[in-house]
């Protein structure tokens, strides 16, 4: 196997997967939106953030479920994996990956045969009441942090005290597998989906307090990314301003680095 250690090469792989998913969604009337740093990159750089190679997209839960039910790549070059499609998957969100690559992560989430890909996050209903939201969010963040501790491994560079605390927590979490915890988060994220609410949240893996207006994701609009016309939620400016503040401002130079906790190989 040959290691891929070029950020440019990883960006190209991610872009090609994204274009394939975009075309599939267009052909099957599935709404999606660029999200997180990918959306910032589209708005600020008309493509990838220069020092980042991640690709993240959002889908409303119904579109997410339908996508996973019907997604296929006739060439076999790309494959979707999620809790719903694989008994080995250990994350509360989906991924579409390049089957000609292999991803090795520095965590307990490795699944044999899964390659480098793009993350597909489901978006769920969030409660309207601020009190209900705060109560819901407190437990959601706790579940997410425990899940994060479960998947972390001993790492040089982390203080001895933090490594010891981590393994104490992992001991208490022994009765729970990574997959069972991911499914727990997934179930909790869907708690309000049977109710008509005015808010949404990326509850499976999102940052704290990431509730945003349902109206901001009522449809999608065109946005350019790496010279291609892709899709963003109609209220993407409100979304970015709420979560990132002045998202058009570049971070300090020392923060413009790629944080990789994985290796990728051509197979």
| Number of C-beta neighbours around residue 266 at 10 A | 15
Q: Give the distance from CA 154 to its chain's centroid.
A: 24
**Helix H segments across 34-174?**
36-45, 61-70, 130-151, 160-172
Residue range 112-160, pLDDT digits in tens: 889 999 999 999 999 999 999 999 999 999 999 899 888 766 566 667 6
Total tally of structural domains belonging to the chain: 1
Confidence of residue 111 (pLDDT cuts 50, 70, 90): confident
Quick one: which of 257, 212, 265, 239 has its CA closest to 39? 239
pLDDT of residue 158: 67
- Of 266 and 158, which is predicted with more confidence? 266
Is 108 a residue whose pLDDT tops 70?
no
Q: In the predicted model, what is the mean pLDDT of the chain?
A: 92
pLDDT, tens only, 59-78:
999 999 999 999 999 899 99
* Contact indicator for 35, 16 with CB cutoff of 8 Å: no
What's the pLDDT score for residue 155? Answer: 65
Whether 199 contacts 133, CB under 8 Å:
yes
pTM (two decimals)? 0.93
- Segment 189-215 shows an average pLDDT of 95
Structural domain containing residue 243: 2-266
DSSP secondary structure letters along 97-113: EETTEEEEESSTT--TT
Task: Look at the alpha carbons of 151, 154, 160, 164 in this order and tell me if their dihedral is positive or negative.
Answer: positive
């Amino acid at each position: 196997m040959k290691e891929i250690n070029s950020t440019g090469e990883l960006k190209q792989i991610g872009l090609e997967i994204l274009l394939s998913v975009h075309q599939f969604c267009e052909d099957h009337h599935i709404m999606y939106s660029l999200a997180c740093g990918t959306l910032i990159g589209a708005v600020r750089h008309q493509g990838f953030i220069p020092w980042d190679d991640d690709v993240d997209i959002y889908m409303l839960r119904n579109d997410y479920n339908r996508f996973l039910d019907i997604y296929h790549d006739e060439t076999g070059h790309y494959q979707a994996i999620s809790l719903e499609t694989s008994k080995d998957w250990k994350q509360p969100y989906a991924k579409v990956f390049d089957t000609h690559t292999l991803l090795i992560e520095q965590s307990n989430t490795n699944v044999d045969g899964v390659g480098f890909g793009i993350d597909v996050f489901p978006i769920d209903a969030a409660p309207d009441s601020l009190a209900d939201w705060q109560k819901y969010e407190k437990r959601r963040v706790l579940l997410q942090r425990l899940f994060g501790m479960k998947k972390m491994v001993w790492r040089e560079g982390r203080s001895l005290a933090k490594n010891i605390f981590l393994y104490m927590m992992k001991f208490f979490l022994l009765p729970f597998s990574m997959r069972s915890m991911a499914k727990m988060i997934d179930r909790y994220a869907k708690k309000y989906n049977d109710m008509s609410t005015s808010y949404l949240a990326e509850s499976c893996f999102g940052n704290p307090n990431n509730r945003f207006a349902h109206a901001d994701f009522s449809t999608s609009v065109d946005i350019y990314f790496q010279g291609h016309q892709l899709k963003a939620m109609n209220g993407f400016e409100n979304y970015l301003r709420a979560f990132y503040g002045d998202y058009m401002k570049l971070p300090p130079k020392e923060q413009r680095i790629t944080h990789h906790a994985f290796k990728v190989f051509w197979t």
